[in-house]
């Protein structure tokens, strides 16, 4: 708390005397409130549409809004998306875990992309296992689909899609410090040349983490390196990306220990070319992504010597090679055709193990003191995991038609995508959206009726895993969801609101099933089919010439699948005072209660998390920023069935003071 007060005192001593002075406006906060209301999105139809006329329920965050919310990790933006929340849970490390429209599972039900390239991969399916931290300061905008997206994006675009678009037009250098020895360095650069345009981003961040009163008083440190570079001409774009994240200590595989380890490395490269522009628009992209994880977690509940604990975890690698081509044609003035094909090869190329017990002669893990090793053995191959080294070839094609009837105020989207995953499944994913804009008055009203189907194919971990924690199930089938939405949008000159009623029919959902409570051993199964209904409401309004507010509220009519929040809300207020931007936000989450076996009870009462951000534009080139999440350092828990008492401590306070120089 002392450091937090110190930051505010330091900033205040410089900032408030300067309020009377006028400095050049920073581009970061140059968008007016009216412009923010009308920003267009691409994610819902693969073409620019206003949010009100997009064929899905969408949420958009600009660079300006991301800075005002004060988040450090891009995943935290989910807390400000109607229908979604973000906590952390145990999955080979305490990684971000999404809650989406009443579903709180580990199977990767939200497709996450960076610049349109998938992060969800074939071994775990969940983007945040391999890429748990994406630095918010490098982001230009983030677009969300709330609801099904498989009609355009295929598997994993199940309960939502998140596309993170990196900045490519900024020249800036930032250095920052924060609580728990946080250190960060960010560089952004772009340059136009005679050959084309070059841009590069890099962010390095490190923190010792907070001390938690569980087990051995473990911490949750973070080390992150994120680098991206791009070369582009009018038609050609070449991109390369690298990311390393380390999440050591804290929680891994159900056990807390200072010796837990989690390190992930990700490599990506892509080439895109615009073949045609004009009445016929044709583009293609070839991309390759590689993911590697090396992790170990403490397995508890075993009768082993205290000084010879059992650690185990994956030393896995997976890759994706993808070709996609998109076509767009203006059939006539009010009709547009969209079509595309996708060829994808997903493969788990390595299935090794990290373990503190290993018998060289047998080649297996044996829990005998003579085979104990410290540090743990890192094996690139492990016979018990050989079935995981599997390849999936997939082919897909989609078509979509946009038809406008301006005389009647109607816009309609109809389309479908067909996905065939060799040896696993084949699925049609239809979608339809009928949009009616009422005759104009002082207030603009838009009504939408939307239907879509999405699916998620099981991944290698669910199908073929064979370790001390989870056993695979080769008979799993794809999860399917059928969603109907009724949407009402209203917009005035300085405000807008949205109400979404949704009905989800969920079929063949995959979840963990406990097979040995004492050893916390699980398998996977298509355990249920059910329905989920709810309402999402959001509103934005300008409060005065220099301030605005945004409010979101979500209410589920049914109990969540896997214990989660039935109601939650967020509010964010921003104020511009010449060279100073002040922002405050709050998250409210309903109580969660779970009764388990042997009279075990988990209960977390309703709570509020506060956050704040302060940005001072010191002059034309320099800016000082203070960001704080969980301002009061509130203690709270989220539920995870893999942990013996179900409790996973939530994120503690995260704060940073950053100096930025723009050149």
Using alpha carbons, list the distances in angstroms from residue 32 to 77, 493, 497, 549: 21, 12, 18, 13
Strands of the 160-166 sheet, one edge to the other: 57-62, 139-146, 160-166, 110-114, 117-118
H-helix or E-strand spanning residue 419: strand 410-421
CA 301/CA 566 separation, integer angstroms? 33
Q: How far apart are CA 47 and CA 22, in angstroms?
A: 39
**Partners of 661 in the beta sheet?**
173, 622
How much is the average pLDDT of 354-360? 97
- Taking each continuous run of H as one helix and of E as one strand, the counts in the chain are 6, 39
Are the beta carbons of 345 and 396 closer than 8 angstroms? Answer: no
Residue 355 sits at φ, ψ, to 5 deg, of -150, 150
What is the rounded CA–CA span in Å between residue 530 and residue 509? 9
User: Residue 616: which of 103, 6, 2, 28 has the closest Cα?
Assistant: 28
* pLDDT reported for residue 331: 93
> Backbone phi, then psi, for 572, in 5-degree steps?
-135, 130
147-179 in b/e form (b: 16+ CB < 10 A) is: bbbbbbbbbbbbbbbbbbbbbbebebebebbbb
Q: 6-15, 450-459, 541-550: lowest mean pLDDT where?
A: 6-15
pLDDT confidence band for 306 (50 / 70 / 90)? confident
Predicted confidence (pLDDT) per residue in 498-538, tens digit? 999 999 999 998 887 877 666 667 888 998 899 999 999 99
Give the distance, in angstroms, between the CA of residue 237 and the centroid of all CA atoms in the same chain: 25
Give me the pLDDT at residue 561, please.
Answer: 86
Q: What is the extent of the structural domain holding 347?
A: 2-662
Q: What is the 3-state secondary structure (H, E, C) of 194-260?
A: CCCEEEEEEEEEEECCCECCCCCCCECCEEEEEEEEEEECCCEEEEEEEEEEECCCCEECCEECCCC
The beta-strand segments (E) located in 81-232 are 84-90, 94-100, 110-114, 117-118, 139-146, 160-166, 172-178, 182-192, 197-207, 222-232
- The end-to-end CA distance of the chain, in Å, is 34
pLDDT in tens, 154-203: 999 999 999 999 999 999 999 999 999 999 999 999 999 999 999 999 99
Phi-psi region of 410 (alpha: psi -120 to 50; beta: other; left: phi over 0): beta
What is each CA distance from 152 to 41, 73, 292, 528, in whole angstroms?
15, 26, 27, 26
For 557-583, the pLDDT digits (tens) are: 999 988 999 999 999 999 999 899 999
Provide the 8-state DSSP code for 25: P
How confident is the model at residue 604, as a pLDDT? Answer: 97
Least-confidence region, from 192-201, 513-522, 544-553, 598-607: 513-522
Residue 608: CATH number of its domain: 2.40.170.20
Is the separation of the CB atoms in 256 and 218 below 8 Å?
A: yes
User: What is the average pLDDT across 400-404?
Assistant: 97
Would you state the pLDDT for residue 214?
84
Cis ω before 124 (30° cut-off from 0): no
Report whether pLDDT(8) > 50: no
* Domain total of the chain: 1
Q: Evaluate whether 185 touches 203 at the Cβ level (below 8 Å).
A: yes
Letter string b/e over residues 415-444, b meaning 16 or more CB atoms within 10 A of that residue's CB: bbbebebeebbebebbbebbbebeeeeeeb
Instruction: Please give the helix or strand (H or E) that residue 379 lies within, else none.
Output: strand 372-379
Paired with 202 in beta bridges are: 187, 227
* pLDDT tens, residue by residue, 325-349: 999 999 999 999 999 999 999 999 9
Confidence class for position 104, pLDDT limits 50, 70, 90: confident
Residue 16: pLDDT band (50, 70, 90) is very low
Residue 361 in contact with residue 368, Cβ under 8 Å?
Answer: no
What is the residue-averaged pLDDT of the chain? 91
Give which of 201, 196, 141 is closest to 170, Cα–Cα: 201
Q: If we measure between CA atoms, which residue out of 133, 129, 459, 74 comes closest to residue 294? A: 129
* CA 375 distance to own-chain centroid: 33
Banded model confidence at residue 24, pLDDT cuts 50, 70, 90: very low
Burial of 454 (0-12, 13-18, 19+ CB in 10 A): buried
Q: Can you tell me the mean pLDDT for 6-27?
A: 39
Nearest to 611 by CA among 575, 653, 569, 660: 653
- Cα 537 to Cα 555: distance, rounded to the nearest angstrom: 9
Q: How much of the chain, in percent, has pLDDT values that exceed 90?
A: 78
């Amino acid at each position: 708390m002392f450091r937090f007060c110190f930051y505010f005192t330091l900033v205040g001593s410089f900032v408030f005397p300067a309020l009377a002075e006028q400095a050049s406006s920073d581009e970061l906060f140059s968008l007016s409130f009216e412009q923010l209301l009308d920003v267009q999105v691409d994610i819902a139809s693969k073409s620019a549409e206003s949010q009100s006329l997009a064929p899905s329920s969408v949420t958009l965050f600009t660079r300006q809004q991301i800075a005002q919310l004060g988040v450090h990790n891009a995943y935290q933006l989910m807390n400000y998306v109607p229908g979604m929340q973000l906590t952390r849970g145990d999955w080979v490390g305490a990684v971000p875990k999404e809650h989406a429209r009443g579903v709180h599972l580990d199977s990767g039900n939200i497709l996450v992309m960076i610049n349109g390239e998938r992060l969800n991969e074939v071994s775990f399916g969940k983007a945040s296992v391999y890429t748990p931290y994406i630095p918010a300061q490098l982001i230009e905008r983030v677009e969300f689909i709330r609801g099904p997206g498989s009609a355009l994006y295929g598997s994993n675009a199940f309960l939502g899609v998140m596309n993170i678009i990196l900045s490519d037009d900024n020249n800036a250098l930032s250095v920052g410090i924060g609580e728990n020895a946080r250190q960060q360095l960010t560089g952004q650069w772009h340059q136009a040349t005679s050959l084309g345009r070059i841009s590069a981003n890099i962010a390095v961040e490190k923190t010792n983490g907070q001390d938690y009163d569980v087990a051995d008083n473990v911490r949750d440190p973070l080390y992150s390196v994120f680098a991206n570079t791009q070369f582009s001409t009018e038609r050609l774009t070449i991109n390369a990306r690298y990311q390393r994240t380390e999440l050591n200590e804290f929680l891994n595989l159900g056990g807390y220990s200072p010796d837990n380890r989690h390190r992930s490395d990700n490599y990506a490269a892509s080439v895109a070319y615009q073949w045609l522009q004009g009445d016929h628009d044709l583009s293609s992209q070839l991309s390759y992504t590689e993911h590697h994880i090396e992790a170990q977690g403490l397995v508890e509940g075993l009768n082993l010597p205290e000084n010879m604990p059992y650690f185990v975890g994956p030393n896995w690698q997976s890759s994706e090679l993808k070709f996609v081509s998109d076509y767009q044609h203006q059939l006539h003035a009010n009709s547009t055709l969209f079509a595309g094909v996708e060829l994808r090869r997903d493969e788990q190329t390595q299935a090794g193990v990290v373990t503190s017990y290993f018998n060289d002669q047998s080649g297996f893990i044996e829990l005998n003191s003579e085979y104990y090793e410290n540090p743990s053995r890192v094996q690139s191959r492990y016979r018990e995991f050989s079935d995981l080294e599997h390849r999936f070839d997939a082919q897909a094609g989609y078509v979509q038609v946009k038809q406008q009837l301006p005389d009647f105020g109607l816009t309609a989207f109809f389309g479908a995508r067909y996905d065939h995953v060799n040896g696993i499944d084949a699925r049609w994913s239809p979608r339809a959206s009928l949009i009616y804009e009422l005759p104009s008055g002082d207030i603009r009203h838009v009504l939408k009726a939307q239907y879509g189907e999405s699916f998620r194919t099981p991944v290698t971990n669910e199908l073929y895993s064979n370790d001390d924690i989870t056993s695979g199930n080769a008979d799993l089938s794809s999860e399917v969801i059928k969603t109907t939405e009724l949407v009402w949008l209203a917009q005035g000159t300085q405000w807008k609101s949205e109400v979404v009623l949704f009905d989800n029919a969920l079929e063949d959902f995959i979840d963990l099933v406990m097979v040995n409570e004492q050893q916390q051993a699980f398998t996977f199964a298509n355990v249920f089919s059910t329905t989920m209904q709810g309402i999402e409401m959001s509103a934005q309004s300008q409060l005065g010439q220099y301030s605005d507010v945004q409010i979101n509220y979500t209410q589920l009519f049914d109990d969540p699948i896997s214990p989660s929040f039935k109601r939650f809300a967020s509010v964010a207020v921003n104020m511009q005072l010449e060279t100073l931007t002040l922002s405050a936000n709050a998250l409210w989450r309903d109580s969660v209660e779970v009764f388990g076996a042997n009279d075990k009870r988990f209960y977390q009462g309703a709570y509020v998390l506060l956050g704040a951000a302060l940005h001072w534009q010191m002059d034309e080139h320099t800016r000082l920023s203070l960001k704080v999440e969980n301002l009061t350092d509130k203690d709270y828990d989220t539920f995870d069935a893999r942990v013996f008492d179900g409790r996973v401590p939530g994120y503690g306070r995260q704060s940073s003071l950053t100096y930025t120089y723009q050149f």
